[in-house]
Structure formats: C-alpha cells, structure tokens
Structure 1
C-alpha cells in the first residue's frame, strides 16, 4: 500500500511540478469572458433545488441565512467568471435542512460523481475573490474535464479512482467530432470513470505523456489509470469512437491488459525529472 500511495503522489507531483504561478492566472482568465449580465437562480423550495442540481453538470449554490454578509455579493460576482457552472441561491430553511446546511454556506454539486462539497462557515467569513474562485475552479469537474494545473487537484480528490485520458492535439483536424464522441462515451461511465482531456500541444503536458510511455507518433491515444493500485493501460488511436472507448474501459474494469509501474529503477529515474 505504501508503494501505491507513493506512486500516486508521484503522478500528482508529475502533473503539477514546475508550473509557473502565472499559469494558474491564465487558467482563471480563460474562464472569464464577455457576456450578458447573469444572476443566480433563486431556489425557493426543495423540489426546485433538486431539479436545478440534477439539470447541471456542476452547480454552485449559496445557502444564506443572512443576505447582508460580504460573501453574498462576492458569490454573485462568480456568475460572470464561470460560464460553464450553474449558480443558485436559497434562503429557505427547508432547502438548507434538506442539504444538511447550517449557517451560511456555499456548496458545489457535481453530477459526475454525485459529490456535494461545502465551504465551512469559518471559510465563508474570511472568503475573498481568489479563495472562492479557486474553490470552484479546483472542484469544477464535468463529464469531460480538461486537464489544467487547477483541475488536476479536483481530479485527484474525487472519490472516483479510475481516470480515462484522451490525449489529443486540440488543433488537429476532426477534434470537435472526436470530442463529441468522447463526451457521449463519458455518459456511459458516469460515476465509474472520470473522463479527462489532455491537449498534447501544451508543452507542460509532455511529462504526463511520457509517464504513460507514449511517443508523439502514437498520439492521439487513450490512457486509463487507477489511482488505488497504480494500474494503467494505453491505446493509441486514429480517431475516437464511442464503441472503442467503451470496449477499452470495459476491458480495464474486467482486469484485462493492466500494467503496473513496478520497476523500481524506472521510478527512481522519473522522480528526478
């Protein structure tokens, strides 16, 4: 178990080390964009809240007993920053009780693994723009989540231990069609496998590609990784097909063609990267 934890931590380290601070800022800026002013949806009762959460891949809800606290205006400002997230607000005691909320809290709900993540009351009191943005960005996991320096934290904190990566150049011909088929396949494994997109044209992603022993000539490719026991496998492809992804994932779940990074010498060499 100790070796497994060490390798999982190593992979996490591999994905995150050497990234300059401005990268995180770039990620945040990419989620901003000009758009018409939007407001959170008011959730007045439990059925409305349940329906709202079920309809969104990622929903962020402000559960407020006091609308005069600074966190409320800050929460409203997040609506413009995260266009791919659904925002709601509720002051209903019935709704708060239903979601086991006491006091003022901001919660993030994920469809991909049915997670509810709450900011603690003490965090709400000291929350600022950077902290709230980071909370949303880190935990903003969709049916297909693009890898970036912040999303990787949420991926490794997810309760789903199996991750499927599509490693592909986003500028390549047919990328949009490939992504459409990849997203359709992701729905088949909701709650079982996290689907991730890795842009192979990003220089910083080269370490991730080499971890799976893939060469540029073998891309695009699928790579599947199990964080619990460090099992993994890869499949070079010419294009994404729903059936191909399904067969690859089903085979991995059945224990077929699994690999292990069990070469101690190789591990030592990688750690020095």
Structure 2
C-alpha cells in the first residue's frame, strides 16, 4: 500500500486522540467513510514520534525502510486487533537515528517502566501475524495490568522486581472506586513497582490467589511479590488508599512481613 494511502486513513484518529496540531498536520484529510479502518499514525519527524510515545501507556511503532516487506500488512492488522494500543509507522532517517534503529524494526514502548522492546533482524524477518500478536499481548504492560495467561509472562520479563497485586472481584460494587485509587497510586511508583489486577471472579485466577494462601473471605486484598527471591506478603483490605499502599510497600522492603 502506498504511503499516501495511509495518510487518508489517519485524520479521524489524530483528532480523537488529541495529538498536537504539528502531528496532525503530517496527515492529509481522511476519507469521509466513517467505516474506514483505523490505521497507524504516520510519524514523519522526531518531535512527532516523541509526542506520540509520551502520550500513551503503550505504543508500537513500525520502523520500515521498505514498506513492501511481508511484515507490513501483518503490522497493519494489529491496529484492529489491539484497539487500546497506539500504533505508529515511520521511514524517516532522523526518527530511526533518534531511537537507535538501524534497519526494519518493530518497537514496543512502555510508559510504566520506560522500556523499548524490539523485533529486528532475523527475528523480524521470520515473524508472522500470530507471533506479532503474541509479542504485543505479552508485553502490553500498563499502569495497572490485568493478570492473565499472556500478561503473566510479560510481568516476569520486566526489569521491575516488585509486583503489587490488587485481588478483587471486578463484579463487586466497590471495584470501580478501588480501581481508580489503585491506578492513581501506580503512577507514583513508576519504575519501582508493577501494579497488577487479579480478578477473583475469574475461575482461572484461583491458582494465583491460592499461591498467596488467601481465602475468598479475606478478599479484597493486596499482595506484594519480589521476583528475585520469591518473597511475598498479603494484606486484606476494605478499600485501597495511597497511604495503605505506601506503608505496605515500605514495610515489605524493610522486612516487616505481615
């Protein structure tokens, strides 16, 4: 697909995402068809790429010197598969240099731990849509990441050693209020702690809950875990507060296990 065709698909996305005018100016007017599929944002300079990455929790950018390589159509299909992930695309040499890209590469940028994960070289040449989807699913970590079989692997692959879990039933009336407070707390612990949500109403999560020796009558609860030595602790709670999270974290680091 020609580069100019991408530009016609992107204006609506840019307007709804609230990106700055200089970013939107890089894209020509979109088709009038509201059913037109969403496409990756075309990043034509370093400031546009920097703002694009900084504005979201997870960004995936295709750095393609050659837009005709087989992985490009698969990359475009990911935009529809992951509507909560922001996708960009660039073939600008200055953008490549700024992000230390030397050839065709797909990079995933995470705000929660400032990670830049790359698929490049032979690994990129051999990848298909299924493997690319798996890569994004595993590494799609956010301020608060909901635990499942896919994200569990990504959590343990992170360089952040301390994981804090909120174990709560998402169907409970207190969920929304507690989740909001939990998300606010997560922003204050960037690069220190990975915040995880475990839905106790999901049968597949019972094994994770039993690992921390918690009974359903003790939920909701906080659990803290350190990956390097498998040390952990739990704290049954009535509601989430920042002070509670801070004290639980500090006590764990000081060895004051509950």
* Superposition deviation, residue 247 in structure 1: 2.2
* Superposition deviation, residue 252 in structure 1: 2.2
How is 1:177-256 mapped onto 2 (pairs within 5 angstroms)?
Answer: 177-253=177-253, 255-256=254-255
**2:4 aligned partner:** none
Q: Which has the higher contact order (CA 8 A, sep 6+)?
A: 1
Secondary structure of the structure 2 residue equivalent to 1:151: helix
**2:53 aligned partner:** 53
TM, length-normalised to structure 2: 0.83
**1:74 aligned partner:** 74
* Superposition deviation, residue 38 in structure 1: 1.2
Rounded to whole Å, the distance in 1 between the matches of 2:204 and 2:184 is 28
How much is the aligned-residue C-alpha RMSD, in angstroms?
1.4
- Higher mean C-alpha displacement, 153-162 vs 113-122: 113-122
* Superposition deviation, residue 36 in structure 1: 6.5
Q: Which runs of 5+ in 1 are unaligned?
A: 1-34, 260-273
**1:86 aligned partner:** 86
1:118 aligns with 2:118: yes
**2:129 aligned partner:** 129
State the number of aligned residues. 224
1:193-220 alpha-carbon deviations (Å, 9 max, x no partner): 0000001111221121111111111000
Q: Runs of 4+ in structure 1 displaced over 3 angstroms?
A: none
* Superposition deviation, residue 98 in structure 1: 1.3
**1:257 aligned partner:** 256
TM, length-normalised to structure 1: 0.79
**1:98 aligned partner:** 98
CA contact (8 A) 2:103 2:120 kept: no
